[in-house]
Structure 1
Amino acid sequence: MTQKIATHMGAQVLLEQPESNPFLEKFYADPARYALSTQMFFLLKRINQLRSLAQGEMFEATTAVAADFLLDKDPIFANLTLANDELKLYQQLYDQLRPQVLSPDLVIYLQAEPGTLLERIKKRGIPMEAGITPEYLKRLCESYSRFFYDYEAAPLLIVNNEHMDLSGSDADFDLLLARIDSMRGKREFFNRGE
C-alpha cells in the first residue's frame, strides 16, 4: 500500500524491509533468545534511514516521502518481546540514538481484529510467520490501540481495515485516497463497513 500511495503522490518511498533483518527468522523460531537482536536491528535500520533522509542523502528536501514505518511506534514491539533488562538497554539506546526528525504530514493507522490479521498472515504464506499466535496478535493490537489513542505528533487517520483490501482492490484504495483528501481534522476515522 505504501508503494501505491507513493506512486499516487509522486513521492519517494521509504520501506521497512523486514526481509533484510538477519535475526527475524530466528526470532520467530526462538523469540526469547532473538528478541533483542531483532529489535536492535530494526531500530538501527530505521534510524539510519531517517538520518539519511534528514541529511538529504536519499531524497531532495522538496520531495514528498511515503514510509511504511513510524519510528515513534518502535517501542511497541520492544515492550512486547523484550525481557525487563533488555527493555532497559533498548530504551537507553533508543533515547540516545533517536534522531530529531520532522513529524509526518499524516499517519495512517490500519486497524483490524487479531483474527483477521492471523488469516491475512496465513494467506501470505511466509513460512517464518507460521508460529505467530492469536495471543501475540491480540497483545500487539492492544498495544497499537493504546499508542495511537495518545498519539498527537501528527494528523492521524485511523482506518478500519477489517473489510478492505487496500493492496489488491483499486476501489478500496480509491476510497482511502478520497478520505485522505477530505481529511480536515487532526484525528479522523474511516470505516467503510462491509
Structure 2
Amino acid sequence: MELVITTSGTIGAGKTTWSERIAEHFGVSVLREKVDGNPFLAKYYDDPKMYSFHLQVYFLNHRFKAIKEALKHPNTVLDRSIYEDGLIFAKLQFMNGSMDTDSYKTYQDLLGNMMQELVDLHEGQALIKKSPDLLVHLDGSFDEIQRRVKKRGRPFEQTDNNPELLQYYKDLYELYKTFVQEYTALGISPVYVLDIDKYDIENPEHVAEVMAGIEKVLIEKRGFAFPEQKGDSK
C-alpha cells in the first residue's frame, strides 16, 4: 500500500537532502523541487517585482505535476509542500509589494482550481488520497539556515552586499514560524518537526533518531510506518 510524505521548510533548511534520506529509509522514491532549469529563479532574485508572479506560477505548476505523479505512483517523498506556495511564498510576494493585488488574486484562484482538481482526482479514484500521510517540517535558527545557504553556494541566493535579499529571507523565516500551526488547523496531515540545529544529517545516530521519530508519528497517527505495513494495520 502507499506512503506519501512531504517535507517543508524555508530556503536552505535542507529539504532535498533530508527528503532523500527519508525516502531511502522507507524504501520509497523522492520527487525533488525543480531548481536547475528554472528559467525564472535567477531573474526573480535580480528583479522580484518583474518575475515574482512568473516564478510562483512556475513552482506551482511543477508542484502540481509532482503531486499528480505521486498520486499515480505512490510511495513517494515530495521535497516541498504545495501548501507552502500559498501560505508562505505567494503571500510574502504580495505583502512586500513584489506581486500586485490582481496578480495575487489570479494566483490564489489558480491554486484553488488546482487543489479542487486534486480533490476530483481523489474522489474519482477511491484508492488514491489527496493528502500526504505526514508532513516533515524542517525548522531551525535563522543563523543556521543562512549558514546552509552560504555553504550551498548558489550565487543568486547569496546576501553579500544585498540587504534586500537578506530582508526577504528574514521575512520568510517569520512567516514560517506560524506555518505548522496554519497547516495543522487545515487538518491536512500529521506533522513531525525536525530541528536542524539539533540533528546533523551527517551523524548516523542523529539520522536514526529522526527516522525513529517519524516512524513513531506515523504509527500513532496513521497506524503504520512502512508501506508494506499499511494493509496489516487493520
TM tier, shorter chain? 0.7 to 0.9
Query: Cα RMSD over matched residues?
Result: 1.8
Say whether the 8 Å CA contact 1:115–1:134 is kept in structure 2: no
Aligned counterparts of 1:5 and 1:125: Cα–Cα separation in 2: 24
Partner residue of 2:48 out of 8, 18, 31: 31
Distance 1:30 1:165 in 2: 35
> Aligned residues, how many?
179
1:40-119 matches, within 5 Å, as 40-54=57-71, 56=72, 59=73, 63-75=74-86, 76-81=88-93, 82-98=99-115, 99-100=118-119, 102-119=130-147
Structure 1 gaps, min length 5: 187-194
The alignment's TM-score, normalised by the length of structure 2, stands at 0.70
CA distance in 2, matches of 1:51, 1:180: 24
* CA distance in structure 2 between the aligned counterparts of 1:87 and 1:5, rounded to whole angstroms: 34
- Report the secondary structure of 2:85's partner residue: helix
Write the deviation string for residues 133-158 of structure 1: whole angstroms up to 9, x where unpaired: 33222221221222211323101011
- Following superposition, the deviation at residue 185 of structure 1 comes to 5.3
- The corresponding residue for 2:6 is none
Answer yes or no: is the 8 Å Cα contact 1:113–1:141 preserved in 2: no
How much identity, in percent, do the aligned residues show?
31
Out of 138, 141, 159, the residue aligned to residue 194 of structure 2 is 159
Q: SS where residue 20 of structure 1 aligns?
A: coil
| Residue of 178, 182, 188 corresponding to 1:146 | 178
- The amino acid across from 2:198 in the alignment is H
Aligned to 1:180: 214
Q: Distance in 1 between matches of 2:79 and 2:204?
A: 19
**How far 1:106 moved relative to its partner?**
0.9
Which deviates more, 105-114 or 146-155? Answer: 146-155
- 4+ residue segments displaced more than 4 Å: none
